[in-house]
């Protein structure tokens, strides 16, 4: 009887994982097609609360939205692979799904749909839903959704300070607060600096992207290209959450 119950549990778990995979693939396809045919309603269906107010009849006329739409032009309709990662923000577990759907012209980069789930809530688009990522960085993430569904010990942010161009200063900020402030950067409030005892990470806003620099024990460096909102936010989150080799997803050059 015990063996039968164990077998039933294994079958049930496998079924749930297959259903989760199917759901993620369908959401990813919806988002890709929304950009492909400029379907506002389809994109709204899976957009997060942060993006929803920006999605209107003019959304696909935006420069960044047009660039993402171009990425979907020659998509063959298939999902190549899905990888997962997880992190803890304010004692809540956020699981991210990276749905790989196309190789970029630069063979070291791939096109992915980014989705997230907070404490196993329904999946929603992360950022604008579509982005590019280094293939090597993507492959560091897990192939198994179940393996990342673990409780993560919250990271202590004591000793970190955020300073904005506006003069606002926040000590011991949460990851959520950091992400919120990054979205407020504009032509007036144009830079953010996150510092701790070991150095700092800073970003300056422009219409074309973010100029990012950091100082650490090994020197002073600047990103070799402008980063997107998603790339910049991801970098800052890794820095404040003390992720090992946090800077490896970006190419840097010495500024000294």
pLDDT tens digits for 59-118?
A: 999 999 999 999 999 999 999 999 999 876 655 678 899 999 999 988 889 999 999 888
Is residue 87 within 8 A of residue 119, CB to CB? The reply is no
pLDDT at 156: 72
pTM: 0.54
Measured distance CA(93)–CA(87) in Å, rounded:
6
Helix axes 175-182 and 229-240, enclosed angle (nearest 10):
150
For the cut 70, the answer to whether the pLDDT of residue 22 exceeds it is no
Residue spans per domain, the chain: 2-148, 161-254
Share the mean pLDDT of the chain.
Answer: 85
Band of pLDDT at residue 48, cut at 50, 70 and 90:
confident
Residue 223 binned pLDDT confidence (cut-offs 50, 70, 90): very high
* Full strand arrangement of the beta sheet holding 109-118: 81-89, 92-103, 109-118, 124-134
Residue 29 φ/ψ, nearest 5 degrees: -65, -40
pLDDT at 215 (0 to 100): 94
In order of 50, 66, 215, 229, 240, the CA distances from 175 in angstroms are 16, 30, 20, 16, 7
SS3 116: strand
Instruction: Read off the pLDDT band of 26 (50, 70, 90).
Output: very high
List pLDDT tens digits, range 105-140: 888 899 999 998 887 788 999 888 999 999 999 999
pLDDT at 147 over 80: no
Instruction: Please tell me the distance from the alpha carbon of residue 233 to that of residue 59, in angstroms, as a whole number.
Output: 22
Condensed to tens digits (0 to 9), the pLDDT of residues 167-201 reads 999 999 988 889 889 999 999 999 999 999 989 99
């Amino acid at each position: 009887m015990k063996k039968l119950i164990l077998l039933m549990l294994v079958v049930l778990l496998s079924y749930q994982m297959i259903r989760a995979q199917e759901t993620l693939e369908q959401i990813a396809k919806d988002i890709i097609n929304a950009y492909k045919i400029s379907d506002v309603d389809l994109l709204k269906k899976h957009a997060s609360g942060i993006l929803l107010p920006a999605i209107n009849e003019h959304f696909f006329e935006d420069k960044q939205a047009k660039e993402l739409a171009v990425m979907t032009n020659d998509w063959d309709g298939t999902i190549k692979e899905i990888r997962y990662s997880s992190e803890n923000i304010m004692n809540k577990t956020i699981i991210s799904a990276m749905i790989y759907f196309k190789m970029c012209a630069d063979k070291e980069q791939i096109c992915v749909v980014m989705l997230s789930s907070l404490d196993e809530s329904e999946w929603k688009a992360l950022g604008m839903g579509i982005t590019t990522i280094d293939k090597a960085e993507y492959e560091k993430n897990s192939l198994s959704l179940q393996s990342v569904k673990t409780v993560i010990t919250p990271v202590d942010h004591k000793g970190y300070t955020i300073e904005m161009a506006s003069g606002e200063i926040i000590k011991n900020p949460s990851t959520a607060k950091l992400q919120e402030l990054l979205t407020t950067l504009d032509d007036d409030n144009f830079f953010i600096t996150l510092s701790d005892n070991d150095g700092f990470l800073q970003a300056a806003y422009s219409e074309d992207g973010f100029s990012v620099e950091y100082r650490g024990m090994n020197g002073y460096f600047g990103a070799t290209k402008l980063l997107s909102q998603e790339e910049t936010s991801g970098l800052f989150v890794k820095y404040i959450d003390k992720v090992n080799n946090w800077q490896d997803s970006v190419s840097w050059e010495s500024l000294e």
